[in-house]
Amino acid sequence: MSDKLDNLYRDILMDHYKFPRGNKPLPMANLENEGHNPSCGDDIVMRFKLDGDKIEDVSVDCMGCAISVASGSMLAEIVKGKSVEEVLKIAKVVKAMLKGEDISTETNGMDLGDLEALRGVNKFPVRIKCALLSWTTMMDALKSKLNDNNITNSTTEQ
């Protein structure tokens, strides 16, 4: 990656860290999950308002490092208004991207927006769990909802 691109991605990450999207109360939530990253100490509480298979709104309350908070903020921006199927597909792409895998066939015209800024995290293996925390927590919550259980707990794994 070029220095210019590195700087742009760093600026995007810092913007999401300083001004996290989705960090708000969500009193009408009908799905909740908590996540924890034991290697870094990051904690997250996510609440979702689902309407059928559509994510109407999301609340992301993350206490942790810049990468963890920024990733949760990006998640909050991109999932709102999307179907569970779309969101799980995006999460799969993000997970592969963070692990340094080729995502060209997975994206298939998908606009990742600010999520592209997470691309460089794979250069720092210890930070991958930080960036994955919100995505793992969300995926566990959605899978739990499919099994009719509304509250779960997640721990990131690599």
Average pLDDT for runs of 10 along the chain of length 158: 78 96 94 93 96 95 96 97 93 92 80 89 90 96 77 54
Other beta carbons less than 10 A from residue 130's beta carbon: 27
Ranges of H-type helices in 19-158: 66-79, 84-98, 104-107, 125-146
Each residue's pLDDT tens digit, 104-146: 777 777 888 899 899 889 888 899 999 999 999 999 999 888 7
Q: Tell me the C-alpha distance between 68 and 134, whole Å.
A: 7
Residue 157 is predicted with a pLDDT of 54
11 CA to centre of own chain: 18
Each residue's pLDDT tens digit, 126-135: 999 999 999 9
Mean pLDDT of the chain: 89
- Please tell us whether the domain made up of 3-152 is placed in CATH 3.40.710.10: no
Other beta carbons less than 10 A from residue 134's beta carbon: 32
The DSSP H or E segment spanning 55 is strand 54-63
pTM to 2 decimal places: 0.88
Residue 21 is classified by DSSP as T
Sequence ranges of the domains in the chain: 3-152
